[in-house]
Structure 1
């Protein structure tokens, strides 16, 4: 006996009774298969009596027979329901053995039905992106020129902030020469705050060839504990004054910065303008994206696969647990009521997250937005390199932890929201 029905578009239940006679038939079949291959002392290969096999492997045979019977129940139920693709693992919610039968119930989870028209566009607000000014482009080019600056000997005679003093120095604490407290021809940019507080300021006004004794106090939190908080004196001689000379703003700068032999300054300006436009667009889009997502959640009512929601709740509980103190975590583990309370608190948000995933997926398909596996890999490689990690290790980690679908969905969401907002930019 088999009964299969849909609870809603995302959840179905299959109920069945496995009769003992059917189970016994399966046991006989499995035992015969084992008998053909079993090697048991006293019997020739392939000639072991089925009765002997059933006695020796009774537990394994029964388990295999039950598994096969349950699998048949699932397959027949899916066929009756017309389900060809499940979104999560089916769940056996009832398995009750009786004298003459086994009663089984299996829950099945599928992608919910969502009707998508053009109503989602009502959730997308108009967005204004500030224009890029010539002054902004020029300012950015100046920064590039400064970054490409060359250090040259300065004609200036007096050391001041922004210049580089090439100094010899020797440090003393309590009259004793400091270990690792001396250097020769050390280039120190005044105002960089790379030395002990107060050191650089006392060099301001020195002339080339001048020597000076300066006093400083090491900070209390200084890395070398043996000198932290102690007063020190340094004999300093200024050997040379240098300054950074920004690169000239011309085609040569463009060639160097763009790593392109035939690059021009106009091309560099255009590239910078586009870069600033993208930055301004991202800044303008960011707050609007949250508005869109909140609106979409309210606009659509859809059925949600129970197991997917439960899994999302588990993920959220694990995230919360990481923020807890050891005492809070212990209480959560030992107090079922506390865990139940947390689940109930997180459930509404978990439902909204799952709901949004299906809505975004449906709208992305309608808008023709997707992320290819190659694109996904390229993005992961780029992020890994930016963080100084091995790209192959990062991709392998995501694969082994089944995180690639999550990353892909996040990228699709970002791509979709950008496309929707792009269509609503004023002036387009």
Structure 2
């Protein structure tokens, strides 16, 4: 429901105006959908839930409650190490946030600075200082270091290891509202993984079925007003971003989209057509299949959507998104779920 929906859908209050009979395809003045009901998609492989996977997930929960204890020994895999470091290129210190830092904390094995960095720390102790040379990859995230031969000066300021709580009935009672014993918690974890599997399957099917229906759709003509409104909304969105960061529009889109102003025109056109096409598909399927929601269902869906998107209330959400746009979010989701119910999953499709 997070996809942007456009003004081309005529939603009034909570009711769509419906007509027509059901079929596997549909057409109107704007689009032709060759097939939408009963489309075939690749069957979703459901992850197997085993005793091992249950224990692995419980282990992750325990790790979330770990405490860090200082240790006086050589660094081992999994330790949490704090370092001060500076990076030099051609003898000059690089002052970017990635290149130099004091009190930088890392977990050995994650290689958070660059691949292979943590290997240089294993076997060393707190208080050691050392240098190492590295050639950063051409696609390294810090552009000031990408492709550069560099010298790193490093001092280890602290070494800690994680101490996990014991999995006991008492611990379970502090973290679960449902379970009181370890065995009950294992059952609860299995049920949670089953719920996650259901959500995963639903998410995968929503994406694949919707893509298939869009692939089956030919646009004969775009409603000009809707297309222009949508293009304008893209300009306003990125202009507000530029204003927020106190940047020129051209600089903002170059940084975040990698396009010039001329290129943005083409980008906005493509995105607008894509969004208008999706709106047209939703409207036509709703009309053909008499898909509609009551006012009460719309209001319930608004509450769920506001919560999903991180708003404190529906009113707060509708300050940023007009009510009709919110309703179009909801109807798009309703259509997708209808399509998933009608789809055919095929192994090895």
Q: TM-score range by the shorter chain?
A: 0.5 to 0.7
Q: Which residue of 2 aligns with 1:206?
A: 124
Q: Which residue of 2 aligns with 1:395?
A: 318
Partner residue of 1:380 out of 278, 284, 306: 306
**Closer/same/farther in 2, CA of residues 407 and 205 from structure 1, 3 Å limit:** same
**Closer/same/farther in 2, CA of residues 196 and 377 from structure 1, 3 Å limit:** same
CA distance in 2 between partners of 1:287 and 1:151 (Å): 42
Per chain length, whose mean CA-contact separation is higher, i.e. which structure has more relative contact order (CA < 8 Å, sep 6+)?
A: 2
Using the TM superposition, give the Cα deviation of residue 279 of structure 1 relative to its aligned residue in structure 2, in angstroms: 0.6
Partner residue of 2:21 out of 110, 116, 134: 116
Residues 166, 242 of structure 1: 8 Å contact kept = no
Unaligned regions of 5+ residues in structure 1, if any?
1-85, 89-110, 333-337
Residues 44, 205 of structure 2: 8 Å contact kept = yes
CA distance in 1 between partners of 2:327 and 2:131 (Å): 58
CA distance in 2 between partners of 1:113 and 1:365 (Å): 5
CA distance in 2 between partners of 1:328 and 1:172 (Å): 37
Q: Which residue of 2 aligns with 1:242?
A: 161
Q: Which residue of 2 aligns with 1:33?
A: none
CA distance in 2 between partners of 1:206 and 1:347 (Å): 56
Q: Which residue of 2 aligns with 1:358?
A: 283
CA distance in 2 between partners of 1:117 and 1:413 (Å): 18
**Per-residue deviation, residues 37-58 of structure 1 (Å, max 9, x unmatched):** xxxxxxxxxxxxxxxxxxxxxx
**Closer/same/farther in 2, CA of residues 213 and 378 from structure 1, 3 Å limit:** same
Using the TM superposition, give the Cα deviation of residue 407 of structure 1 relative to its aligned residue in structure 2, in angstroms: 3.1
Name whichever structure is richer in helix by fraction.
1
Q: Which residue of 1 aligns with 2:109?
A: 191
Q: How does 1:338-357 map to 2 (within 5 A)?
A: 355-357=280-282
CA distance in 2 between partners of 1:409 and 1:278 (Å): 22
Cα RMSD over matched residues? 5.5
Partner residue of 2:334 out of 406, 415, 421: 415
SS at match of 2:128: strand
Using the TM superposition, give the Cα deviation of residue 272 of structure 1 relative to its aligned residue in structure 2, in angstroms: 1.6
Partner residue of 1:133 out of 48, 63, 87: 48
Using the TM superposition, give the Cα deviation of residue 154 of structure 1 relative to its aligned residue in structure 2, in angstroms: 8.1
- TM-score, L = length of structure 2: 0.56
Residues 126, 421 of structure 1: 8 Å contact kept = no
Partner residue of 2:196 out of 275, 279, 295: 275
1:310 and 2:224 correspond = yes
Using the TM superposition, give the Cα deviation of residue 141 of structure 1 relative to its aligned residue in structure 2, in angstroms: 1.5
Q: How does 1:66-81 map to 2 (within 5 A)?
A: none
Using the TM superposition, give the Cα deviation of residue 357 of structure 1 relative to its aligned residue in structure 2, in angstroms: 3.8
**Closer/same/farther in 2, CA of residues 326 and 261 from structure 1, 3 Å limit:** same
Using the TM superposition, give the Cα deviation of residue 409 of structure 1 relative to its aligned residue in structure 2, in angstroms: 2.1
The alignment of Structure 1 onto Structure 2 pairs a total of residues equal to 282
**Closer/same/farther in 2, CA of residues 164 and 379 from structure 1, 3 Å limit:** same
Q: Which residue of 2 aligns with 1:70?
A: none
1:163 and 2:88 correspond = no
Residues 82, 105 of structure 2: 8 Å contact kept = yes
Q: Which residue of 2 aligns with 1:151?
A: 67
SS at match of 1:134: coil
Using the TM superposition, give the Cα deviation of residue 229 of structure 1 relative to its aligned residue in structure 2, in angstroms: 8.7
Using the TM superposition, give the Cα deviation of residue 289 of structure 1 relative to its aligned residue in structure 2, in angstroms: 1.9
Using the TM superposition, give the Cα deviation of residue 125 of structure 1 relative to its aligned residue in structure 2, in angstroms: 2.7
- TM-score, L = length of structure 1: 0.48
Using the TM superposition, give the Cα deviation of residue 347 of structure 1 relative to its aligned residue in structure 2, in angstroms: 11
**Closer/same/farther in 2, CA of residues 359 and 256 from structure 1, 3 Å limit:** farther
Higher Cα radius of gyration: 1
Residues 171, 233 of structure 1: 8 Å contact kept = yes
Using the TM superposition, give the Cα deviation of residue 253 of structure 1 relative to its aligned residue in structure 2, in angstroms: 6.5
CA distance in 1 between partners of 2:310 and 2:160 (Å): 41
CA distance in 2 between partners of 1:182 and 1:161 (Å): 22
